[in-house]
Structure 1
């Protein structure tokens, strides 16, 4: 039996997928394409999912949920997501059909994932917060505007999830929130500090604003000790962008930076030997030996939560040719 709940951040390449697991239940946050999530569920002998939370409608966050909903061997109790009227992709239409079919088999589908859901998604001793969007922002919707008249995109209304244990916010999963969405988030006067931050949009451009300034604002506000970029070595090879790293370094110089895969900016070729710090759970970069942090498993223990392999990861980074996380 598990003594503490777990936060599992999967190396899925370009995309996001996080699991929150305790002895009895599982929450899945975002379902990207590829087999890593399905392999992980099989590895962990998972046959039942309490909640699936979909942050927003982009393919790298929803591409895997259709197969999951169709899998008769896995019982999914609840799916939560927000509508997106401008999303006209085929995968979004197929997802809507899959949700209808799953609903007929007993899955409850909620077309709202806003701040009002905070408190209703808890798992064991872990409290799940929906920090963004607010109901009034989602009423503007993708393609509409916020209350200040700024245009909203799918990223602007991306759900931001907080993970709290023992009255301490352990992590914030920022999905693809952009500068407009983040500016709406920080209108709330309460603190949003957290030890772990999954950085927005894989370290890519933040939208219409300056990316360095965006990184400074996000990290100054959250004050993370561990910053994770979920990236694919062979897609968007400039992620995480140098100006993002520069911005976060100026705000939280002592934070540990970890990418799920080894960016081409850091090394032209992958290591010749397998790193010793990687978790044994499935990771997209395992076969090509392109993992940097790979799939990350962290025991959730309130203010005592730590990334256990941080020393070994630092030693791995020491061997990298030109690690961008140490550039500034």
Structure 2
């Protein structure tokens, strides 16, 4: 367990009365912590180490709800070690069944949930749909479940039938809209694909949010041109910030065509990646002053791979605020990143070696 560059401008942790959303830099995967004072809801759990550190540092001992958007390993792996940990009390674990997911980690999770439920340690809920939002919310954190519907989880993922549309495992991802103190703060769509998005938008629900955590880590949407999916999604959500929770060197996300569509059609939107994409900066990791990074847990190797790193969303002066700030983060990008996709009009030349 480690915090990135903790010696650089260390910040005091938030007081127990704080309402916040923390999107952890877990590399390729997702994990969001929603806090209302000492109470919290966790959405997805890629890394148990980083999540454990975040909870301990914040003084959280009670996890009201753990929502696992779908059965992929990069969303559930951390739960396998976090849930048995007696340092925390867990209320309810929410996850939808998936007969098409035949992975060892998914099987281990189901066995673990059975064991912990029998021991009275938690309550498993093997169904979560758009009827369950009121059950997840805290006093100052309103959580709306937008997708899937009861009909969707009743049918489950599978091919098109006589009365049901085709829906994939990714298309069944739980989509949450999170409001902090009355402000629509986050849209958390898991790995929602193009078919799932089409179904979600057909229901005429409010999906607007200040921060969009882009689905599937900026990877392929499942069908059709990626720029069309991106434009449809960003049109609907109308975020101020589009955040890619991704790992450097894994699948080379986010896709260049995805970022290009955002910067072309929505130039007012801030684009940020938790880790530095190889599409922006190949080769050795850049250095430079990273004092803008929050003193929060991030996935690191010998040197930090973070770009914006872990992100925190709060309410101040009746407005949503996102940290790290755009200005400080952009300054580092401008100085250190060779060909940042989020700044398409500027590419830095590679430094030339000095001639003796």
- Is the radius of gyration larger for structure 1 or structure 2? 2
Equivalent in the alignment of 1:224? 239
Counterpart Cα distance in 2 of 1:249 and 1:140: 38
1:276 is aligned, of 273, 288, 291, to 291
Equivalent in the alignment of 2:100? 86
Q: Report 1:1-328 matches (<5 A).
A: 1-33=15-47, 35-106=49-120, 107-145=122-160, 150-237=165-252, 239-268=253-282, 269-285=284-300, 287-300=302-315, 304-308=319-323, 309-319=325-335, 320-327=337-344
Contact between 1:168 and 1:302, CA under 8 Å: does it hold in 2? no
Cα gap change, 1:10 to 1:146, in 2 (>3 Å): farther
Counterpart Cα distance in 2 of 1:286 and 1:50: 31
- The number of aligned residues is 327
Cα root mean square deviation, aligned: 1.9
1:11-70 alpha-carbon deviations (Å, 9 max, x no partner)? 000000000012130111001146222222233233221100000000000011011111
Counterpart Cα distance in 1 of 2:194 and 2:257: 15
Contact between 1:13 and 1:261, CA under 8 Å: does it hold in 2? yes
Match of 2:142, SS state, is: strand
Q: Which moved more, 1:12-21 or 1:309-318?
A: 309-318
Q: Post-superposition shift, 1:147?
A: 8.0
1:237-273 alpha-carbon deviations (Å, 9 max, x no partner)? 2x11011112223442210111000011111221224
Unaligned runs of 5+ in 1: none
Unaligned runs of 5+ in 2: 1-14, 346-356
Match of 2:262, SS state, is: helix
Q: Post-superposition shift, 1:314?
A: 1.4
Cα gap change, 1:146 to 1:274, in 2 (>3 Å): farther
Q: Post-superposition shift, 1:274?
A: 4.6
Counterpart Cα distance in 1 of 2:78 and 2:45: 5
Q: Which moved more, 1:86-95 or 1:302-311?
A: 302-311
Counterpart Cα distance in 2 of 1:156 and 1:100: 26
Cα gap change, 1:274 to 1:102, in 2 (>3 Å): farther
Q: Post-superposition shift, 1:131?
A: 0.9
Match of 1:312, SS state, is: helix
Match of 2:258, SS state, is: helix
* TM-score of the aligned structures, taking structure 1 as reference length: 0.94
Counterpart Cα distance in 1 of 2:320 and 2:251: 31
* TM-score of the aligned structures, taking structure 2 as reference length: 0.87
Contact between 1:26 and 1:49, CA under 8 Å: does it hold in 2? yes
Q: Post-superposition shift, 1:234?
A: 2.0
Counterpart Cα distance in 2 of 1:302 and 1:147: 53
Q: Post-superposition shift, 1:124?
A: 2.1
Cα gap change, 1:146 to 1:307, in 2 (>3 Å): farther
